[in-house]
Structure 1
């Protein structure tokens, strides 16, 4: 059985719940956390590999808790030819994957930090941020 890559999105009301504990203990699932991010408003994103016999039951548990569950079948990439380093995206990136490099003042993108929230796609005026499936 191969792992499923999924993205979980939490609200402030659900970010303090012990969901990993329940996935492992109650549903006997194997969890590999790939990325985790929580912002000052206690909203969070968790990217993980999840697998086991009771996978579907575990996913249903997450949804019942009010946690958004999405398959991770895409990634965000930057089209360097389009990017003008305006910085519009940097304030919207909850994971810090987009940031302004000092002293060059150029926008940098660290794909390893990206949690595929897609906020950058919404705010980029030149559409330099793209989704690769």
Structure 2
């Protein structure tokens, strides 16, 4: 099973090797897709975890027990579909193919599981319809 999540680390947890513990203790393959971690500040990691479902569940419980908030990617990334004009700017900027426009309806489709929170859609969208909750929104 593969699961993509955003980890939010409190200030007191950014100096501990919790990601390493996921690998060592729970035998979870961890692919870090995006990281914003600094000692003494709240940090975030976008990771993809791969293991059997029970191990992933145990790993998430371990993170929660250590003060880390684990959120599905889909809960942190959104856009205002009702205002979208389907111009395609965001889809052309999205190299992970989380945003696509295809026949027959030519409407924007968003797959949050493919998103890597690169924030290129924030810059590309002329109407500023995208919202990505990551630790440092000013960095986009």
Corresponding residue for residue 24 of structure 1: 23
Instruction: State the number of aligned residues.
Output: 91
Q: Is contact 1:80–1:128 with CA below 8 Å preserved after alignment? A: no
Distance in 1 (CA, whole Å) between partners of 2:39 and 2:23 is 27
- The answer for unaligned runs of 5 or more in structure 1 is 82-110, 115-119, 121-126
Distance in 1 (CA, whole Å) between partners of 2:66 and 2:30 is 18
Residue 40 to residue 64, structure 1, CA distance change in 2 (3 Å): closer
Is 1:113 paired with 2:122? no
Deviations 1:79-120 (A, max 9, x none): 898xxxxxxxxxxxxxxxxxxxxxxxxxxxxx8534xxxxx9
Q: Is contact 1:35–1:47 with CA below 8 Å preserved after alignment? A: yes
Q: Which has the higher helix share?
A: 2
Deviations 1:56-93 (A, max 9, x none): 00000000000010011253559898xxxxxxxxxxxx
Corresponding residue for residue 7 of structure 1: 6
Residue 76 to residue 39, structure 1, CA distance change in 2 (3 Å): farther
Q: Which runs of 4+ in 1 moved over 4 A?
A: 76-81
- The answer for unaligned runs of 5 or more in structure 2 is 86-115, 133-140
Residue 41 to residue 5, structure 1, CA distance change in 2 (3 Å): same
Corresponding residue for residue 36 of structure 1: 35
Distance in 2 (CA, whole Å) between partners of 1:22 and 1:30 is 11
Residue 40 to residue 80, structure 1, CA distance change in 2 (3 Å): farther
Corresponding residue for residue 70 of structure 1: 71
